[in-house]
Amino acid sequence: MNTTVEKLESEDPWDAGELGRNEEHVIVANPVVCTAVDESLCLQLISIRLQRSLIANLKLVATYRGIAYQPMIRDLLNRFVISEMRDIMHELVAVAEVQKEEAGGADSPVSEFLERERKRA
């Protein structure tokens, strides 16, 4: 017997494939609207060459996760950059601390700033 959620999903016309899965529902996007959306979300079109197998695997993962693969890639890249920026900040703070010790530990506005950033990270 179906659970309540399964029953609701099976009755949903979108989930059942009754809506939006044939050519009668396809339209060409208005370029002005596309540009407005890109501008409002600060998106920029780029071109990148990836291995076919990588693209296929990304699509499989995205399908499994229930999302489109391009937004998933955008999310992955954002997560990677945030992580790398955090690591870079830690490295810069460590270098600045070594330089501070070598200079005799003199406090300065820059040292105070770096200390605050180290604590925040």
Lowest mean per-residue pLDDT among 22-26, 43-47, 103-107:
103-107
Range of the domain at 107: 51-121
- Whether residue 16 is predicted with pLDDT greater than 70 in this model: the reply is yes
Q: Does residue 13 contact residue 19 with C-beta atoms inside 8 Å?
A: yes
Q: Which residue has the higher pLDDT, 20 or 2?
A: 20
Clarify whether residues 59 and 109 are in a common domain: yes
Clarify whether residues 99 and 61 are in a common domain: yes
| DSSP assignment letter at 1 | -
Clarify whether residues 120 and 90 are in a common domain: yes
Number of domains in the chain: 2
* Residue 66 tokens, joined: 């229930």
- How many other C-beta atoms lie within 10 A of the C-beta of residue 19? 11
Clarify whether residues 41 and 76 are in a common domain: no
pTM reported for the whole predicted model: 0.58
pLDDT at 46: 92
| DSSP assignment letter at 25 | G
Clarify whether residues 105 and 81 are in a common domain: yes
